[in-house]
Protein backbone atom coordinates (compact mmCIF):
# COMPACT_ATOMS: atom_id res chain seq x y z
CA UNK A 1 0.00 0.00 0.00
CA UNK A 2 2.83 2.43 0.87
CA UNK A 3 4.44 1.63 -2.46
CA UNK A 4 1.25 2.60 -4.32
CA UNK A 5 0.97 5.93 -2.49
CA UNK A 6 4.66 6.68 -3.09
CA UNK A 7 4.30 5.92 -6.79
CA UNK A 8 1.29 8.24 -7.14
CA UNK A 9 3.12 11.03 -5.33
CA UNK A 10 6.07 10.76 -7.72
CA UNK A 11 3.98 10.57 -10.89
CA UNK A 12 3.77 13.50 -13.34
CA UNK A 13 0.09 13.93 -12.43
CA UNK A 14 0.83 14.71 -8.79
CA UNK A 15 0.81 18.52 -9.25
CA UNK A 16 -2.64 18.32 -10.86
CA UNK A 17 -4.02 16.24 -8.01
CA UNK A 18 -2.52 18.67 -5.49
CA UNK A 19 -3.97 21.72 -7.25
CA UNK A 20 -7.42 20.14 -7.33
CA UNK A 21 -7.31 19.44 -3.61
CA UNK A 22 -6.15 22.97 -2.79
CA UNK A 23 -8.62 24.76 -5.10
CA UNK A 24 -11.22 26.41 -2.86
CA UNK A 25 -14.76 27.59 -3.66
CA UNK A 26 -13.45 31.16 -3.24
CA UNK A 27 -10.97 30.64 -6.06
CA UNK A 28 -13.73 29.30 -8.31
CA UNK A 29 -15.91 32.31 -7.51
CA UNK A 30 -13.17 34.62 -8.75
CA UNK A 31 -13.69 33.23 -12.27
CA UNK A 32 -17.24 34.63 -12.32
CA UNK A 33 -17.58 38.15 -13.72
CA UNK A 34 -18.48 40.57 -10.88
CA UNK A 35 -21.91 42.09 -11.31
CA UNK A 36 -20.40 45.57 -11.12
CA UNK A 37 -18.67 44.86 -14.46
CA UNK A 38 -21.83 43.72 -16.26
CA UNK A 39 -24.22 45.45 -18.63
CA UNK A 40 -27.73 44.38 -19.51
CA UNK A 41 -30.45 44.63 -22.14
CA UNK A 42 -34.14 43.89 -21.73
CA UNK A 43 -37.42 43.83 -23.59
CA UNK A 44 -40.78 44.23 -21.84
CA UNK A 45 -44.48 44.57 -22.52
CA UNK A 46 -45.84 47.63 -20.71
CA UNK A 47 -49.39 48.51 -19.69
CA UNK A 48 -49.92 52.25 -19.19
CA UNK A 49 -52.68 53.21 -16.77
CA UNK A 50 -53.84 56.84 -17.19
CA UNK A 51 -55.57 58.13 -14.06
CA UNK A 52 -57.45 61.30 -13.02
CA UNK A 53 -58.62 61.99 -16.58
CA UNK A 54 -60.95 65.00 -16.54
CA UNK A 55 -63.17 66.22 -13.67
CA UNK A 56 -64.64 62.74 -13.25
CA UNK A 57 -61.15 61.29 -12.65
CA UNK A 58 -61.67 58.50 -15.17
CA UNK A 59 -59.08 55.80 -15.84
CA UNK A 60 -58.01 54.21 -19.11
CA UNK A 61 -55.43 51.61 -20.18
CA UNK A 62 -53.01 51.69 -23.10
CA UNK A 63 -50.17 49.39 -24.15
CA UNK A 64 -46.54 49.85 -25.16
CA UNK A 65 -43.29 47.96 -25.71
CA UNK A 66 -40.16 48.98 -23.77
CA UNK A 67 -36.48 48.44 -24.58
CA UNK A 68 -34.04 48.69 -21.65
CA UNK A 69 -30.25 49.17 -21.86
CA UNK A 70 -28.17 49.65 -18.72
CA UNK A 71 -25.22 48.73 -16.60
CA UNK A 72 -24.27 47.97 -13.01
CA UNK A 73 -22.29 50.78 -11.36
CA UNK A 74 -21.52 48.65 -8.29
CA UNK A 75 -22.87 45.38 -6.92
CA UNK A 76 -25.89 47.29 -5.58
CA UNK A 77 -26.41 50.30 -7.88
CA UNK A 78 -27.32 50.52 -11.55
CA UNK A 79 -28.19 53.10 -14.23
CA UNK A 80 -30.21 52.60 -17.39
CA UNK A 81 -31.88 54.13 -20.43
CA UNK A 82 -35.31 53.12 -21.71
CA UNK A 83 -37.14 53.72 -24.97
CA UNK A 84 -40.75 52.75 -25.54
CA UNK A 85 -43.44 52.99 -28.17
CA UNK A 86 -47.18 52.71 -27.77
CA UNK A 87 -49.19 50.25 -29.87
CA UNK A 88 -52.64 50.47 -28.24
CA UNK A 89 -54.36 53.75 -27.35
CA UNK A 90 -56.22 54.29 -24.09
CA UNK A 91 -59.97 54.66 -24.64
CA UNK A 92 -61.69 56.62 -21.86
CA UNK A 93 -64.90 54.83 -20.75
CA UNK A 94 -68.31 56.25 -21.74
CA UNK A 95 -66.80 58.78 -24.14
CA UNK A 96 -65.22 59.24 -27.57
CA UNK A 97 -61.95 60.42 -26.03
CA UNK A 98 -58.65 58.56 -26.44
CA UNK A 99 -55.12 59.15 -25.14
CA UNK A 100 -52.13 57.87 -27.10
CA UNK A 101 -48.50 57.62 -26.03
CA UNK A 102 -46.58 57.56 -29.31
CA UNK A 103 -43.15 57.13 -27.73
CA UNK A 104 -41.22 57.84 -24.53
CA UNK A 105 -37.62 57.85 -23.32
CA UNK A 106 -36.44 57.51 -19.71
CA UNK A 107 -33.25 57.65 -17.67
CA UNK A 108 -33.05 55.97 -14.26
CA UNK A 109 -30.58 55.38 -11.47
CA UNK A 110 -31.48 52.78 -8.89
CA UNK A 111 -30.55 50.27 -6.24
CA UNK A 112 -31.14 46.51 -6.21
CA UNK A 113 -30.91 44.15 -3.26
CA UNK A 114 -30.59 40.35 -3.49
CA UNK A 115 -33.32 38.10 -2.11
CA UNK A 116 -31.47 34.84 -1.84
CA UNK A 117 -29.35 33.54 -4.70
CA UNK A 118 -31.71 33.88 -7.66
CA UNK A 119 -33.88 36.97 -7.07
CA UNK A 120 -33.52 40.71 -6.52
CA UNK A 121 -35.82 43.52 -5.46
CA UNK A 122 -35.07 46.98 -6.83
CA UNK A 123 -36.21 50.58 -6.92
CA UNK A 124 -35.18 53.40 -9.23
CA UNK A 125 -35.84 57.08 -9.85
CA UNK A 126 -35.34 59.20 -12.94
CA UNK A 127 -36.78 61.40 -15.65
CA UNK A 128 -38.90 60.73 -18.72
CA UNK A 129 -39.85 62.48 -21.94
CA UNK A 130 -43.24 61.54 -23.38
CA UNK A 131 -44.80 62.38 -26.73
CA UNK A 132 -48.40 61.54 -27.53
CA UNK A 133 -51.73 62.94 -28.57
CA UNK A 134 -55.31 63.30 -27.37
CA UNK A 135 -58.20 62.67 -29.76
CA UNK A 136 -61.81 63.66 -29.18
CA UNK A 137 -64.45 62.60 -31.67
CA UNK A 138 -67.99 64.02 -31.54
CA UNK A 139 -66.99 66.92 -29.25
CA UNK A 140 -70.57 68.25 -29.18
CA UNK A 141 -71.94 65.06 -27.62
CA UNK A 142 -72.93 65.36 -23.96
CA UNK A 143 -70.81 62.35 -23.00
CA UNK A 144 -67.68 64.25 -24.09
CA UNK A 145 -68.29 67.49 -22.19
CA UNK A 146 -65.47 66.83 -19.70
CA UNK A 147 -62.82 66.43 -22.42
CA UNK A 148 -63.40 69.45 -24.65
CA UNK A 149 -60.63 71.44 -22.99
CA UNK A 150 -57.93 68.90 -23.87
CA UNK A 151 -55.64 69.97 -26.68
CA UNK A 152 -54.39 67.70 -29.43
CA UNK A 153 -50.97 67.36 -27.81
CA UNK A 154 -50.65 65.01 -24.86
CA UNK A 155 -49.15 65.49 -22.41
CA UNK A 156 -48.95 69.29 -22.21
CA UNK A 157 -45.66 68.98 -20.31
CA UNK A 158 -43.37 66.51 -22.07
CA UNK A 159 -40.84 66.05 -19.24
CA UNK A 160 -41.65 64.47 -15.90
CA UNK A 161 -40.07 62.62 -12.99
CA UNK A 162 -40.53 58.84 -12.98
CA UNK A 163 -40.01 55.98 -10.56
CA UNK A 164 -40.19 52.20 -10.57
CA UNK A 165 -40.14 49.30 -8.11
CA UNK A 166 -39.68 45.74 -9.25
CA UNK A 167 -38.62 42.15 -8.71
CA UNK A 168 -36.49 39.91 -10.91
CA UNK A 169 -35.90 36.15 -10.94
CA UNK A 170 -32.97 34.40 -12.60
CA UNK A 171 -34.60 31.73 -14.77
CA UNK A 172 -31.41 30.82 -16.68
CA UNK A 173 -27.79 31.84 -16.32
CA UNK A 174 -27.66 35.65 -16.68
CA UNK A 175 -31.30 35.73 -17.86
CA UNK A 176 -33.96 37.27 -15.58
CA UNK A 177 -37.73 37.39 -15.56
CA UNK A 178 -38.71 40.96 -14.58
CA UNK A 179 -41.95 42.27 -13.02
CA UNK A 180 -42.26 45.96 -12.12
CA UNK A 181 -44.56 48.94 -11.66
CA UNK A 182 -44.40 52.67 -10.98
CA UNK A 183 -45.15 56.16 -12.26
CA UNK A 184 -44.25 57.03 -15.84
CA UNK A 185 -45.28 60.70 -15.84
CA UNK A 186 -47.62 63.35 -14.47
CA UNK A 187 -49.01 65.94 -16.87
CA UNK A 188 -49.05 69.28 -15.07
CA UNK A 189 -51.39 70.74 -17.69
CA UNK A 190 -54.21 68.20 -17.67
CA UNK A 191 -53.30 66.70 -14.25
CA UNK A 192 -53.37 63.19 -15.74
CA UNK A 193 -51.20 60.73 -13.82
CA UNK A 194 -49.89 57.82 -15.88
CA UNK A 195 -48.50 54.66 -14.31
CA UNK A 196 -46.53 51.86 -15.95
CA UNK A 197 -46.70 48.12 -15.26
CA UNK A 198 -44.26 45.90 -17.13
CA UNK A 199 -43.19 42.30 -17.50
CA UNK A 200 -40.44 40.82 -19.63
CA UNK A 201 -36.89 39.51 -19.73
CA UNK A 202 -33.45 40.97 -19.07
CA UNK A 203 -30.11 39.53 -20.13
CA UNK A 204 -26.85 40.47 -18.39
CA UNK A 205 -23.47 40.24 -20.08
* Ordered per-residue pLDDT tens for the chain, 205 residues: 444 444 444 445 444 444 443 444 444 344 567 888 899 999 999 999 999 999 989 999 999 999 999 999 999 999 999 999 999 999 999 999 999 999 999 999 999 999 999 999 999 999 999 999 999 999 999 999 999 988 888 998 889 999 999 999 999 999 999 999 999 999 988 899 999 999 999 999 9
What is the model's pTM?
0.82
Q: Do residues 100 and 133 make contact, with C-beta atoms less than 8 angstroms apart? A: yes
Question: Which residues fall within 8 angstroms of residue 158, CB to CB, at 6 or more apart?
Answer: 129, 130, 131
User: How many Cα neighbours within 13 Å face the side chain of 1?
Assistant: 0
Q: Rounded to the nearest 10 degrees, how much is the dihedral formed by the CA atoms of 8, 10, 15, 18?
A: 50
Q: Distance between CA atoms of 123 and 198, rounded to whole angstroms? A: 14
Q: CA 145: distance to chain centroid? A: 37
Amino acid sequence: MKKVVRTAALSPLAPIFLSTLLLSPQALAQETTPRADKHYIGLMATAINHRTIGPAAERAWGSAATLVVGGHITDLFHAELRAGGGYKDAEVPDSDFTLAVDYFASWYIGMHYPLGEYANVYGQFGFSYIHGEATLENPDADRNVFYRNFGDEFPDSGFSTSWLAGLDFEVMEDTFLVLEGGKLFEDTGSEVNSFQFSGGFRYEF
